[in-house]
Amino acid sequence: MAITLGGLNTLSFAPSLHGGWLELAIFAGTFWVISHAPTLRAALLAGGIFGFGQFVSGIWWLYVSMHFYGHMPALIAGAAVILFSLYLALYPALSVGLWHVCCAPFGQRTMFPSWHASMAFACAWALGEWLRGTIFTGFPWLVSGYAQVDGPLAGFAPLIGVYGVSWVLALVGALIIQTVMNVSTERGVVAWLMPASVVVGLIVSGILLSRVTWTQPSGPALSVRLLQGNIKQSIKFDQIGIRHALATYQRLITEKPADLVVTPETAIPLPLYETPTEFRTTVQSFVDATHTSVLFGAVGVTITKNGGENFTNALYGITPESSILYRYDKHHLVPFGEFIPWGFQWFVDIMRMPLGNFARGRAIQPPFIVRGQSIAPSICYEDTFGEEIAYMLRSQLYPATMLINSTNLGWFGNTIALDHYLQIARMRSLETGRPMLHATNTGVTAIIDSDGLVKAQLHRFTVGALDVNIQGRSGMTPYILTGNITVLIISIVGLAIGRGIERHTCPSRYIRIGTNIYLSVSNF
């Protein structure tokens, strides 16, 4: 059953049509399953099986990247997805194991859900997801809170971020089972009414909080054009692809003026000094003549102390009548795609990735200023790390009023990865109370408003430009100010309290209420 629940949980994420409600039922079912794990080993296995079911069904698109575009043999690519899913499954197994240790340290039994068991489950689950998004540079894909972007718990995002939403979600699921079990054992109205009331209260609070405005309009609205060149990944780094990209983006950039024009990540897959003179002069002349600012993706080059070159994944900004180029270098790099973890050079050689070893940009970099609006860029994978964006905003003297994510998802074809990535970008808008300009090579290119709603988007795998007026916003959400520290403190303290409560429970006092089901007297 655990693997089925894990697989079904993938359906909670985009492009789902049920607004996050399915996920509430799945987490209730998951808590039911682990509550019937009589030993720590059984609990670990249940958590791991759930995780494997979710990840193997939710990150299969990596096979497309490795096999169709990385030219890895199909068998090896498939095995890599399975092995990676097994690794990721360790984290939900860890969460369930932590929960079991805190709530059932006295040997074999099936646990009756209690208040501290429900709270400990929420704490353990959020902590496990945070660890998955942190260890080995992190892989926070399919974090449970993302599925609530259109769900009833979305309103908690500006307060405690995506991991906090996961915490609330897990608590709601556990309390649903606590309510059902209390009803089924006829423990009295109060016993089931209290957890049921908390469930309703959390859901209503999430819905009401989503109507709270945490930021306010700042400065004039900008006319923005997001460009989608639809350069095929199979030719992107070949000479024919480079020539096609230069011609396409030169045409799209100079086609129509706007306050800001944005291209996808590595729209120009060359170091800036290798771009043709015609491209540079044509774009600069257009910028000066129309007072348009342009932010475009290219390969950055930094000269080292010994005269060598370090390549970066960069965004360059051009503003009217200015000889100074703005530059943003990607800080949070993708393992294997942009840097080679120690001992894995053989993997990159199989993948035949060009420019697979970028240098890292600084954690805090200046914003790009356009007509009084301060814009914070990020590139591709960086958008999945909400804490880093929050840290950047609270570290700036004048926090950015807009977010930009420039990315190339052509590596993943027409798969659910594109929907998931747009959902992640929407969560960043919810957390920060700021609009997100989401420029991609093949889709989904979109403008996301400060409330996390998609204002406009382009069709996938088409060439075009998305023209929208967007309003910058100032102000600090609670999440910007505290980042993930709030949910981490709650989770660690909650687990410690759960462990302390259970240590004072007498292990020998159980009442049998059915086949293999025992209740501790402390639950009454």
Q: Is 103 a catalytic residue?
A: no
Q: What is the dihedral of CA 67, 73, 78, 79, to 10 degrees?
A: -140
CA distance 113 to 32: 9
Q: Is 265 a catalytic residue?
A: yes
Q: What is the dihedral of CA 214, 217, 221, 225, to 10 degrees?
A: -10
CA distance 79 to 348: 16
Residues in the chain, overall count: 524
CA distance 150 to 22: 12
Q: Report, in this order, helix, strand and coil percent for the chain, each rounded to 5.
A: 50, 15, 35
Catalytic residue among 103, 129, 330, 338: 330
- Say whether 348 sits in a helix, a strand or coil: helix
Angstrom CA distances, 474 to 67, 76, 373, 477, 523, stand at 44, 48, 10, 10, 48
CA distance 458 to 466: 6
Q: Is 380 a catalytic residue?
A: yes
Nearest to 146 by CA among 71, 213, 54, 214: 54
Catalytic residue among 23, 129, 265, 338: 265
- Identify the burial level of 237 via C-beta atoms within 10 angstroms of its C-beta, where 0-12 means exposed, 13-18 middle and 19 or more buried: middle
Assess contact for 444 and 301: CB atoms under 8 A: no
The residue assigned the tokens 């209690």 is: 114
Catalytic residue among 123, 236, 380, 382: 380
- Would you name the residues annotated as active-site residues? 265, 330, 380
